[in-house]
């Protein structure tokens, strides 16, 4: 699915990014990113809940709990997951090498990796590339970093927003990578967001978790949760605005801006889903609660039969009806359920809608973007998720991933 590959991202005061090539990517492009947090910054993060979480996830969580971070180090081309104790040692060695080069404690470095699972991390190559990444540190390094963290992504992903608060312009900028193995369980793949607002660590964590719940936790490309998922939010305080407190209007405004950036990044991941040709919103309305709305939405979004019908542009509405029916909603009255493709009602009164025509359904399915809307008629809750189709190219990309 085509996207605009150009990124025009606003710098965040005090936050610097530098890239280098450690030779982990087959094409020789930059694959190492160092991010520098200015003194006095706060940092929040969420990580994958996959039991086989990668070594850098374990080390990053431990380091974040120990001290306030000064640097983030990210490599693409190798996930350092499923690598046991040698993988843990490799992640720590990367932290120690960056710390030694910058005069910081190793615990003040958070490591992140993405790429092939089960292969040893080439620590020596990463350490050798660190001086170049440090030399390249700049507040305008966002676009280069977005490219360096890519794996099967076809385009770099970034978003930026500003909000005016008490005479100060506050910036929120973020980048993300991800195209396959996308079904987040607290975050998705890798995402890094920074703001020049001043926010204490506890409030920042609250802000991030709320934003992630409404963005990265609402997407699915293939239903797989990665071993390496992580999302980091940094507040540098460089805007000059006083420290924000939870519950006040300025804090809420910054959190809304962070959420907007996360939503844009999450939707960009779906648009760049491996082999994707369609961007699909699955909206479930009038549910008894948010959980059952999401239960129905994800059953549709994960269905290979629905996703392949979307790829074919086939208005095979029976597949959507079947997905709703098997979502596990207790005592669902199917006579009350309505299912729509954009403006076209396809199911009503427990059967194909009386006024539905194949031609009307086909018009919607021919679109690059469409909404599958389900009305449960059980309450006032509503939720939506974003997904894509499942194409021949998805199979090809993942069948040939290591070749």
Question: Is residue 133 within 8 Å of 20, Cβ to Cβ?
Answer: yes
Domain total of the chain: 2
Q: Classify 126 as helix, strand or coil.
A: helix
Locate the DSSP E strands across 16-117.
16-20, 32-36, 42-47, 71-76, 109-114
Same domain, 266 and 340: no
Whole-number pLDDT of residue 247? 87
Same domain, 299 and 217: no
Same domain, 307 and 219: no
Same domain, 51 and 170: yes
Whole-number pLDDT of residue 35? 98
What's the predicted TM-score (pTM) here?
Answer: 0.93
Is residue 61 one of the residues assigned to a domain? yes
Whole-number pLDDT of residue 33? 98
Same domain, 116 and 134: yes
Same domain, 149 and 285: no
CATH code: domain of residue 100? 3.60.70.12
Same domain, 343 and 372: yes
Whole-number pLDDT of residue 186? 64
Which parts of the chain register pLDDT below 50?
1-4
Same domain, 367 and 389: yes
Tens-digit pLDDT profile for residues 23-47 = 999 888 999 999 999 999 999 999 9
CATH code: domain of residue 382? 3.10.20.340
Cβ partners under 8 Å of residue 295, min gap 6:
327, 328, 329
Same domain, 71 and 181: yes
Active-site residues: which are they?
A: 188
Whole-number pLDDT of residue 41? 98
The residue segments making up the domain with residue 184 are 16-271
Question: Is residue 159 within 8 Å of 268, Cβ to Cβ?
Answer: yes
């Amino acid at each position: 699915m085509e996207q605009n590959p150009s990124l025009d991202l606003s710098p965040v005061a005090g936050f610097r990014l530098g890239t280098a090539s450690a030779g982990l990517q087959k094409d020789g492009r930059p694959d190492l990113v160092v991010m520098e947090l200015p003194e006095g910054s706060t940092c929040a993060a969420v990580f994958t809940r996959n039991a086989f979480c990668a070594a850098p996830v374990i080390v990053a969580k431990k380091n974040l709990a120990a001290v306030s971070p000064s640097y983030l180090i990210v490599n693409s081309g190798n996930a350092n997951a499923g690598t046991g104790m040698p993988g843990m040692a490799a992640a720590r060695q990367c932290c120690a090498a960056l710390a030694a080069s910058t005069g910081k404690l190793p615990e003040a470095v958070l490591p992140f990796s993405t790429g092939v699972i089960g292969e040893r991390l080439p620590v020596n190559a990463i350490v050798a590339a660190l001086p170049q990444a440090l030399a390249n540190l700049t507040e305008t390094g966002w676009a280069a970093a977005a490219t360096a963290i890519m794996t099967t992504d076809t385009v770099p992903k970034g978003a930026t927003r500003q909000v005016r608060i008490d005479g100060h312009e506050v910036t929120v900028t973020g980048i993300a990578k991800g195209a396959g193995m996308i079904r987040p369980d607290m975050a998705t793949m890798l995402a890094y967001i920074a703001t020049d607002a001043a926010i204490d660590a506890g409030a920042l964590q609250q802000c991030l978790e709320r934003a992630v719940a409404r963005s990265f936790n609402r997407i699915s490309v293939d239903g797989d949760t990665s071993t390496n998922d992580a999302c980091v939010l940094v507040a540098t305080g460089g805007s000059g605005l006083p420290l924000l407190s939870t519950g006040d209007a300025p804090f809420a405004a910054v959190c809304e801006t962070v959420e907007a950036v996360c939503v844009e990044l999450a939707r960009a991941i779906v648009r760049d889903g491996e082999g994707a040709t369609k961007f699909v919103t699955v909206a479930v309305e009038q549910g008894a609660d948010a959980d059952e709305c999401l239960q129905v939405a994800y059953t549709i979004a994960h269905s290979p039969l629905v996703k392949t019908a979307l790829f074919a542009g086939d208005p095979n509405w029976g597949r959507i009806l079947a997905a709703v029916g098997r979502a596990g909603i207790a005592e669902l009255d199917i006579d009350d359920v309505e299912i729509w493709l954009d403006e076209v009602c396809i199911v009503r009164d427990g059967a194909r809608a009386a006024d539905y025509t194949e031609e009307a359904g086909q018009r919607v399915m021919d679109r690059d973007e469409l909404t599958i809307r389900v009305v449960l008629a059980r309450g006032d809750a509503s939720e939506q998720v974003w997904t894509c189709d499942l194409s021949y190219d998805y199979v090809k990309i993942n069948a040939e991933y290591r070749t």
